[in-house]
Amino acid sequence: MSNLRQREILVERILKERDHFEQLVNRVGYMRRMTLKGVVGTWSVKDTLAYLWAHEQYLADRLYEILHDQPYTPCKSQSALDVFLDEFGYPDFGSPLLEADAAGEWVVERHRHVSLDDLGAQEIEAFCSIISALESMKESTLSRHNNLYQHVIKHTCERYREFARPMRRWLNANGVQKK
């Protein structure tokens, strides 16, 4: 199978997973419910969207670098991680030094005072950047990056599924019906 066909299948998969996740978010409904803690562990839906944004923006930026032949080197020291956070506004998810729980809490805290509308717009923009970057990659670029598809799935589909399970349980436990 050609790299271009694999890319088409990947984009279709991401869009399908994304649709399922958005349907769950839409079921939450009211804005006040979006900020209730305890939907996904101790997080609200808004907190979850902030964390998804961080993963998607990280991925979108890495895809941009690939498209423009710019190098990416994961942070190898705590000071480099701190500089990365300040420069990009999200954690370096590629760094072996990154503690996932601490990164999540950092993202949630940073977005605590960002409005839900603004956060939603940022998250959608990052998602669209991923799809756009994937669709504009040439076959030669795709073939040079062996684990690109796994990397994309890790920061999109796997995150959607990770948050969908507890969100579905919360919706059912609180009697929120499908629309």
The tens digit of pLDDT for each residue in 159-168 reads: 999 999 999 9
Q: Would you state the structure tokens that stand for residue 8, as one six-digit string?
A: 């088409």
Q: Would you state the structure tokens that stand for residue 55, as one six-digit string?
A: 């993963």
pLDDT at residue 6, as a whole number: 86
pLDDT at residue 1, as a whole number: 66
Mean per-residue pLDDT over the chain, rounded: 92
In this prediction the pTM is: 0.92
Share of the chain above pLDDT 70, in %: 99
Give CA separation, 45 vs 2, 54, 142, in Å: 38, 14, 34
Domains in the chain with CATH codes: 3-173 (1.20.120.450)
- Is pLDDT of 3 > 80? no
pLDDT at residue 178, as a whole number: 72
CB–CB of 35/26 below 8 Å?
no
pLDDT at residue 138, as a whole number: 87
CB–CB of 133/63 below 8 Å?
yes
**pLDDT tier for residue 144 given thresholds of 50, 70 and 90:** confident
- Is pLDDT of 114 > 90? yes
Tell me how crowded residue 14 is: count the other CB atoms within 10 A of its CB.
Answer: 19
pLDDT digits (tens, 9 = 90+) for 115-132: 999 999 999 999 999 999
pLDDT digits (tens, 9 = 90+) for 46-101: 999 999 999 999 999 999 999 999 999 999 999 999 999 999 999 999 999 999 88
